[in-house]
Amino acid sequence: MLVATVRKRIAVVGGGIAGLVTAWLLDSTHEVVLFERNNRLGGHAHTVDGGFDLAAQFVSPAVQPTYWRLAHDVLGMKMERMRNTAALNDPRRLLDSVQPYRTPMAAAALGAMMAAGLTNRTWDMTVDEFVSRRLGWLPAATRNDVVLPWIAAFGNCVIPIALETSAMAALAFILRAATLTSLTYYNAVDGLGAIADRLMITDVRLSTEITEVTRSPQGFHVGAEVFDVLVLAVPASVARKLLTGVLDRDLSGFQEIRATMAIHADPIYMPARRRDWRAFNAVRTGEHCEASIWYGGLRGTDEQIFKSWTTFRDKQPSEVIAAAEYWHPVITPETIRAQKRLEAAQGRDDLWFAGSWTNDVDSQESAVVSAVRIGQRLGGRTF
């Protein structure tokens, strides 16, 4: 492991969780400046009025051990256990985690999917190939109406794109939870956005969008300042633009998809009967399968507040408390290969990349792990 011994001036571009953690880890050893184009830090850790998380929300000590250790053990964030119930509607009730509504064939199909994934762990196989080869014995209607929409609902919500993703990336959280003793998920009592305040460093530049980076023998020129080291904690597409004509890095193989989210009081996406509401309610419409999270179901209360994926909905909710747009990496087999190429180039010419797209699957865990790896290589604090 390479450990820096000389104090350096480091620019971290991007104030999402990856950039925040990177800056926080390095600030004890180096002079760090964090640039963020928005007027807030946190990126997908975005809490709005009422303590509702608009993007990233669930944390599992078993499935996301690094993120949990940072948030809960190191930063002391209070967590509350969530109740996990789920259903898939098409508009039929195809799958329900609560008896007596569970469809036997649907439950068998999801169980078979998990079993096949546990015994055939290959990141080079797409979901399309996985379903055809490992689940070909299932009725076509079950594969098309239950398995694929369910995978899409936990990913990018677009079934054709889900078919192209890496099967192991699509199933990662389900499979990792299946091999562990705890399936428990938690929410931060004050919202995940509170993590930004606890990771604050001295020099943060909010509302400062970096549109150009140049390089000279003196170092990286970011704005009017010069830095020894540059960390790009931004999406691959943004990093690609910033590096054009500066340094040659192969960032092919990385792609992103847009998602819009809303916190609202309108039960527009809930089943008609209140008794059929679940904590996680997925609805398939054509080639899309989007979900609504019912906070009352998560907390065991009558609270009528919902968080919904709204990118492809025919109708938008009313009584909107907050809404925002986010971009997520699409993890295909080519992405996995691109991640390996990127890892081999990390730190070359004092250039680093952080974010959930740089390793493993799209998650806050991946983002934090990317930051921890940079911190270790540059001699930052550890936890």
DSSP state of 97: S
For 257, the 3-state DSSP assignment is strand
Closest by CA position to 213, among listed 228, 199, 223, 201: 223
- Model confidence over 256-268: pLDDT tens digits? 999 999 999 999 9
Q: Determine the average pLDDT of the residues in 120-129.
A: 91
Q: What is the mean pLDDT of residues 182-189?
A: 86
Q: Whose CA is closest to 2, among 361, 348, 334, 324?
A: 348
Percent helix, strand and coil across the chain, each to the nearest 5: 35, 25, 40
Query: Is residue 91 pLDDT above 80, yes or no?
Result: no
For the chain, helix (H) and strand (E) counts, in that order, are 13, 19
Residue corresponding to tokens 């925002």: 324
- The residue ranges of every structural domain in the chain are 9-80+188-256+330-377, 85-182+266-318
pTM of the model: 0.94
Fold of 9-80+188-256+330-377: FAD/NAD(P)-binding domain (3.50.50)
pLDDT level of residue 4 (50, 70, 90 thresholds) = very low
The answer to whether residue 279 scores a pLDDT higher than 60 is yes
Distances (CA, A) of 213 to 7, 145, 219, 269, 358: 22, 47, 10, 44, 20
Helix 127-134 and helix 104-119: axis angle, to 10°?
110
Q: Comparing 5-14, 108-117, 354-363, which segment has the lowest mean pLDDT?
A: 108-117
Instruction: Quote the pLDDT of residue 1.
Output: 47
Residues 190-241 have pLDDT tens digits of 999 999 999 999 999 999 999 999 999 999 999 899 999 999 999 999 999 9
Mean pLDDT for the chain overall: 94
